[in-house]
Amino acid sequence: MTPGPPPRAWLDSTGGERKVLEDNCVLGRSAECQLVLKDPRISRRHAMIHRQGGEEFWLVDLGSANGSRVNGRRVVQPCRLNDGDEIELGGITFKFRQPTLSPAARGGDDATVATLFEIKTFDCWLLVADMVGSTQLLQKTDEGKAASVTGQWLARCNLIVETHRGAINKYLGDGFLAYWSQKAGMEQEVAGALQAFKKLREGSDPLFRVALHYGVTVAGGAPSRGEESLAGKDVNFVFRMEDLASNLGTGLLLSQAATQRLGELISAEPCGNHSLAGFEGSFPFFSF
């Protein structure tokens, strides 16, 4: 029997146990976590290792009580892991392993590996969320408090996205890009997520901005639970929208395409036509 290809990334514990990282992996005391850690210093949902773009793995602290550390440094914002990094959660330590492998060692030739990076296009909803004043937060408070605030916010946002059938594609320091592949009934899910983000903005610290757009996305990479590398002009468009939301002082900004598709599911107000860097002409936008 031919053995399967070796894992691309895994965690080694100090006790010699190995946890292969294939999809997103939540670590904590809860039985619902992918890696359950029986230690009183570990929070129920302590941290998550997020597989991003197929080959990248990021550690995200989920607002844990005792924090997460990589190579001795407190994780304040999501950070990319590198082979050999030491991860400390409470009193438990892991070593992250992601050695560079040749195509043959991965269990296939170049042609096989190339098929993992097949490019496709599809219609989807794109959402960018970003904390307001994260730099000032780091300057005004201690590292542990800043890490807790950021982690708790990311955990709440992740729950909103996943509850409404979306996925976070990538973390961006103090923000993230999420998406929903268009299919029947997805307008209701996106509208529900918007309502949840609006409620979160009204009753929580930190303050944050959200930009939502609907368009065509180019996807590639080795998909894991749908989390592929997203690219294309509409991805650039929604990131420019987030910059515009900052300039306008708008908390939730929607493109015309997103507003039209949502229709009566939300109550959006026009906020004028505006230009975006890198795009010709001006575009109508709406606040929610």
pLDDT at 136: 66
Higher pLDDT: 68 or 229? It is 68
State the chain's mean pLDDT as an integer.
88
Distance CA(47)–CA(27), nearest Å, equals 5
pTM to 2 decimal places: 0.80
Distance CA(279)–CA(240), nearest Å, equals 9
What mean pLDDT do residues 141-169 have? 89
pLDDT in tens, 236-267: 999 999 999 999 999 999 999 999 999 999 99
pLDDT at 78: 93
What is the SS3 assignment for 112?
helix
pLDDT at 44: 95
Distance CA(49)–CA(59), nearest Å, equals 5
pLDDT in tens, 224-239: 444 467 899 999 999 9
pLDDT at 137: 64
- Domains of the chain plus CATH, in order, are 9-97 (2.60.200.20), 120-287 (3.30.70.1230)
- Quick check: 106 pLDDT over 60? no
